[in-house]
Chains A and B, each alone.
Chain A
Amino acid sequence: KAGVTQTPRYLIKTRGQQVTLSCSPISGHRSVSWYQQTPGQGLQFLFEYFSETQRNKGNFPGRFSGRQFSNSRSEMNVSTLELGDSALYLCASSLEGTGYEQYFGPGTRLTVT
């Protein structure tokens, strides 16, 4: 089975712009979670989706949003980018959404200048 894929892998944006990141989970996996990883803050939970429904959202401002499509693919959007949004954004999928065993994509490295 193909693993979790994320596009794009690298992105450079300017402050104030917006960005959309995409994640395709492992075939058959219905749950997708998103994390922000920075050197000082570790892995911070952003959202979790299951069957197109957002089940939970982390402690991030409303500029961060996401969605999941009927084929389980997911996107996250960050509007009005700030320098502090520079990070590795990781997507993870799991089979039934229990979250105990998650499979991560390679991530999107976002740099905001």
Chain B
Amino acid sequence: GQSLEQPSEVTAVEGAIVQINCTYQTSGFYGLSWYQQHDGGAPTFLSYNALDGLEETGRFSSFLSRSDSYGYLLLQELQMKDSASYFCAVRDSGGFKTIFGAGTRLFVKA
């Protein structure tokens, strides 16, 4: 089956850079997505990587290595508002089901 692993918590200082890792095991792979969820809110889409390499969107970047079954989300110039949970997600081998990691809780300190 499919599974994703990511750290449960990460703490960083305002203005710093933080990397949230995600390793996955899938029988078929269609790409890795990232979502952000603030407390009490709904998940919001951040990025999607289908091919190896780095995708940059403003302060957020996402990286994928298909050979290592590994990806990460990089947040630069951290702000207090970045305190949230971050989920990585993949589509299952059949392509009609999305599996989410358990989420990484990011705490940004002043």
A residues engaging B (CB < 8 A)? 33, 35, 42-43, 45, 48, 50, 55-56, 58, 90, 92, 97-107
Partner of B45, one of A56, A97, A101, A107: A101
CA gap between A90 and B102 in the complex, in Å: 16
- Is B69 located at the chain interface by the 8 A CB criterion? no
Q: Which residues of B contact A105 (CB under 8 A)?
A: 42
CA gap between A106 and B42 in the complex, in Å: 5
Is there an interface contact between B87 and A43, defined as CB atoms closer than 8 Å? yes
CA gap between A55 and B91 in the complex, in Å: 13
Q: Which residues of A contact B43 (CB under 8 A)?
A: 43, 90, 92, 102, 104
Q: A100-B30, A100-B91, A101-B48 are in contact. Are A43 and B100 (CB under 8 A)?
A: yes
Q: Is the interface of A mostly helix, strand, loop or mixed?
A: strand
| CB closest residue in chain B, given A31 | B96
Is there an interface contact between B95 and A45, defined as CB atoms closer than 8 Å? no
Is there an interface contact between B103 and A42, defined as CB atoms closer than 8 Å? yes
Is there an interface contact between A99 and B91, defined as CB atoms closer than 8 Å? yes
Is there an interface contact between A104 and B44, defined as CB atoms closer than 8 Å? yes
Give the residue among A43, A92, A107 with the most B Cβ atoms within 10 A. A43
CA gap between A99 and B87 in the complex, in Å: 15
- Is B99 located at the chain interface by the 8 A CB criterion? yes
Mask of B71-110 contacts with A, CB within 8 angstroms, 1/0: 0000000000000000100011011111111110000000
Q: Which residues of B contact A50 (CB under 8 A)?
A: 96
| CB closest residue in chain A, given B98 | A99
CA gap between A44 and B101 in the complex, in Å: 10
Is there an interface contact between A101 and B33, defined as CB atoms closer than 8 Å? yes
| CB closest residue in chain B, given A45 | B97
Is there an interface contact between B33 and A42, defined as CB atoms closer than 8 Å? no
